Amino acid sequence: MWLDRSFPHHDITQLESSLYLKNAVSTLMTARGFTLEELAANRFRLRDAVVQKIGSLRKQMAKAEYERLLLPGCETPIEVSPEKCFTYPLPEYPAQKFYDGSPPFPKHYYEKPADMNSEEVACAVVIDTLPEVEFWVRNLERDPRVAFWLQTPTDKFYPDFVAKLKDGRFLVVEYKGEQFKTTEDTLEKDSIGQLWEARSNGLCLFRLVTKETMQQKIHEAVGG
């Protein structure tokens, strides 16, 4: 079948894809009234629609499986290992651009933190001035070798800041601007962060903060 060969689907066997596509074409002809000639004439539009539908089903399945793994009763439940939180190698810190402003950050793990906007700088000041913080890192994105990340149903989530506290606990902070604080993506990140904290037996802390809440939430998190 041309339709089956017209797009890659390495995670779906040919038997499965052939059956799905046969049923899809049959449904279009019986329920929607299309003729085989009409479908053939519009085969590229049909292919694009099929690719989009399969992509949507793939995401639904990935989300369902992800949520199953988060359940405490799962045979292989998600566990939190605090020793994995802060394994930044020295001197490797491949930031694309470095922060070069004021104030300085004496508790940053590396000589200079990666670049930050003005609101992130304000959040970093709160973290750096906490007496409970031993050191912290401006977390990098898209480089899991030297960054801390949490898995979401569709991607890796790289929080903005990771700090080690003097009592051995770890604090992870994600800063969000007001325009993003209630988006689906933000709520998903907050959910996995809260679960990460809950599974850590009190050794890991996660806070998603905004400009208005960062002082209170971060201080409360460390017990200040």
Residues 66, 60: Cα–Cα separation, whole Å = 10
203, exposed or middle or buried, with CB in 10 Å at 0-12, 13-18, 19+? middle
Domains recognised in the chain with CATH numbers: 2-70 (no CATH), 82-222 (3.40.1350)
- DSSP for 72-86? TTSSS-----GGGT-
pLDDT tens for each residue of 22-64: 888 888 888 889 888 888 899 899 999 988 888 887 777 766 6
Shortest CA distance to 127 belongs to which of 117, 115, 142, 137?
137
- Of residues 191 and 219, more confidently modeled: 219
Shortest CA distance to 162 belongs to which of 128, 200, 201?
128
pLDDT tens for each residue of 121-151: 999 999 999 999 999 999 998 776 778 888 7
User: Does the pLDDT at position 75 exceed 80?
Assistant: no
Question: Cis link prior to 103 (omega < 30° from 0)?
Answer: yes
pTM: 0.69
